[in-house]
Amino acid sequence: MVPLLTAKELQAMLQVDRSTIYRMAESQNIPAIKVGKQWRFPADRVELWLKTQSSGTSASPPAPASPPQPATVSAPLLPPVQLKLIQDGFALALGAMVQITDINGHPLVEPSKPFGLFLALQPFPSAKQRYETEWRRLAQLPALKPQFTRTGLGLLATRGIVRVGSALQGMVVIDGIAPNDWTPDVAALAEYYGVPAEALSPHLDDVYFMDSVKQALVLSLAQHIADIVAHLATERAAMAGKLNAIAQLVG
């Protein structure tokens, strides 16, 4: 029999609060099974999952037999003007592109501080769709906290997940950061995205260069930004519920 860890034991291992453990279990961000009404965590799968986290890889833990699907959002998280204000403020502070998307990687508003190489792809629908597919993969990463992943352009991107209640409803993507070994191959990039090389070559250096301190700041703030969006969306949904209830009473 494989040993099963309790939420309390896992909390001690990960040094996070109990509610975080339960949210991770509900959203299948960590190997977990339901025993009666209690969550239990297979020790062998948790150990493998921890190794993938510590190695910085994006390998997913073994999937459960019937993984839950992300919740379908029936209404916008926030009005576009509010999302854009949040994006603009943090993009200016971080010096990188910030994009709020739904959980499938589709932008909810225009990006803030888009970098030139990204903009060069936008006139080409297939390249634009491929880039959104790469963002969707960010949402599927099992990482507890934001980490950098390379996009098809070879640049660094990270994300924070927007959770409203137990539903995954969106993502804050920070993108366009050049890695230390940034040596773009314009021919390879053009072939990968299916665009003319001359559309990309003038913009190879039109990306964001950061030292390790600034990169660490980006990673530390990604989830905080997502949590701000989630908090505002939760408050908005609660207010809408109250207004609907009042309308029914007076109607």
Mean pLDDT calculated for residue range 206-224: 95
User: What confidence tier does 195 reach under pLDDT thresholds 50, 70, 90?
Assistant: very high
* pLDDT for the residue 63: 39
Task: Please say if the pLDDT value at position 197 is more than 80.
Answer: yes
**What residues does each domain of the chain span?**
4-54, 80-238
* pLDDT for the residue 8: 85
- Select the CATH number that applies to the domain covering 80-238 from these four: 1.20.120, 3.30.310, 2.60.40, 3.30.450: 3.30.450
Task: Please answer whether residues 18 and 25 qualify as being in contact, where contact means their C-beta atoms are separated by less than 8 angstroms.
Answer: no
Distance CA 134, CA 29 (A): 19
* pLDDT for the residue 65: 37
Between 33 and 13, where is the model more confident?
Answer: 33
The pTM (predicted TM-score) of the whole model is 0.68
Q: Is 36 left (phi over 0), alpha (psi -120 to 50) or beta?
A: left
Q: Which of 64-68, 74-78, 99-103, 183-187 has the lowest mean pLDDT?
A: 64-68
Task: Please say if the pLDDT value at position 33 is more than 70.
Answer: yes
User: What confidence tier does 222 reach under pLDDT thresholds 50, 70, 90?
Assistant: very high
Mean pLDDT calculated for residue range 197-224: 95
Q: Which of 43-47, 48-52, 62-66 has the lowest mean pLDDT?
A: 62-66
* pLDDT for the residue 56: 46
Written in H, E and C, the secondary structure of 176-227 is EECCCCCCCCHHHHHHHHCCCHHHHHHHCCCCECCCHHHHHHHHHHHHHHHH
